[in-house]
Amino acid sequence: MVIGLSLTATWLKGRSRAGDITANPVSFDVGLSQMAERAGLDFVFKPDTLSVPPAAQARGMAQLDPTIALTAVALQTERIGLVTTVSTSFNPPFVTARQLQSLHWVSNGRAGWNIVTSIEGAENFGQQGMPDPATRYRKAVEFTETVRRLWRSHPAPGSADGAELQPVGHAGEFFQVRGPLNIPEHPAGEIPLFQAGASDEGRGFAASVADAIFAATPDMAAARELRADLRRRAVDASRAPDAVRVLPGLYFFIARTREEAWALHRRAHEHLSRETRLDKVRAILGADLSAMRDDETVVPAMLPDGDQPVRSRTHADLLRRYIAQNQPSLRVLLARPEVVGSAHWVSVGTVDDVLADIIRWFDAEAIDGFIALPGGSTESMRLFFDELMPKLATRKLFRAAYDSTTLRGHLGIV
């Protein structure tokens, strides 16, 4: 498997953030990355947002620029990959290419790029609103190809291509870039590309360029469908069927007993009132279900047209699929991962319970690995690092020690 860790305090969901996290976010990122490296994980992942929701303002969120934060992490780690997030909607390709290649050099070949098109933040960049998904992904395609051409425009020292700089001369729908880049490509090779988003546009984009996708898969059926679809699309894009690794977020709650683990899970969501959950459904689907009783059944006919604009097409499609296949009660719907979280796969129980869940998904060819999202407590995270990861290695589902010094090597990219 390929296993990464999100550099977010997911175990504090619903509670006040610990003072040391907001007071010194750099130390938090470095310390968590060092824990992940001791456990042998392939990479850490730094998500990003370019706006501040009111709830985050109340908690005093410290959202460092992910690339700068990971540069600090690079200087205090040796092996673990460093995947930063850069939006294609608001940044110039030349600056992005230079920043990512700089991180690649600082980390000695351990950089990765999580490509996002963003779903909000336009008002912070002189825009009145976000373009539609088709436009955002069309821009992402041009942006990504331009960045890759910039990387190739300045060959690595001693490479077969020599050291001659090549102009890019790009003139497209969204960007004009002359090039070449003013920093050479690192000898480790091209920076691996990750993509977050499983809408139809997102799948097509991932299948054409990504080495891995950070997928929202709240259940195994969704994961299997996504993985099979991406493999078909990769072949259509003249790539190997397994070119895109499917890595869902795994939001786990681990404790010594199942009862304690479920108590952690309840505590993580008890701050979400019924009204808050109904508002989330309204935001995802555009459906007002507030007049329903909790025991009433939700059916597809209650939902508005699926083609209407929504905040996240991925989450809307997942929740619509679940309703169509299960026709749940409102009570069950309001407890779904798409509603109370970010549509992540949730696993609750002892170390062996969560281990069995991971093996079941892997054996069912639903995943190629996952992004660890520790939930409930720091002890839950410790049990993952100290006990669950070694058990995966014992079962030959993960390596026992690093056998590479680069992220490309960790991912098995030739």
What is the three-class DSSP state of 180?
coil
Strands (E), 180-284: 193-196, 212-215, 245-254
Is 137 within any annotated ligand binding site?
yes
What is the rounded CA–CA span in Å between residue 181 and residue 152?
Answer: 8
Map tokens 């610990």 to a residue.
Answer: 18
Q: Is the dihedral of CA 263, 267, 273, 276 positive or negative?
A: negative
**Helix-then-strand count for the chain, H and E:** 17, 11
Is 117 within any annotated ligand binding site?
no
Q: What is the DSSP string of 256-277?
A: SSHHHHHHHHHHHHTT--HHHH
Q: Which residues contact 340 (CB under 8 A, 6 or more apart)?
A: 269, 272, 277, 280, 334
Is 85 within any annotated ligand binding site?
yes
Q: Which residues contact 209 (CB under 8 A, 6 or more apart)?
A: 115, 141, 144, 193, 195
What is the rounded CA–CA span in Å between residue 27 and residue 236?
Answer: 44
Q: What is the largest CA-CA distance in the chain?
A: 70
- Angstrom CA distances, 347 to 105, 302, 380, stand at 37, 30, 12
CB distance 156 to 184 below 8 Å: yes
Look at residues 130, 111, 137, 150 and name the one whose alpha carbon lies nearest to residue 206: 137
Angle, CA of 405, 88 and 111, to the nearest 5°? 10
Residues shown for the chain: 414
Tokens at residue 246, please? 């499917």
What is the rounded CA–CA span in Å between residue 88 and residue 355?
Answer: 36
CB distance 69 to 106 below 8 Å: no
CB distance 239 to 347 below 8 Å: no
Map tokens 């991971």 to a residue.
Answer: 358
- Angstrom CA distances, 192 to 205, 226, 288, stand at 15, 20, 41
Binding-site entries: 48, 85, 137, 199
Binding-site entries for FMN: 48, 85, 137, 199
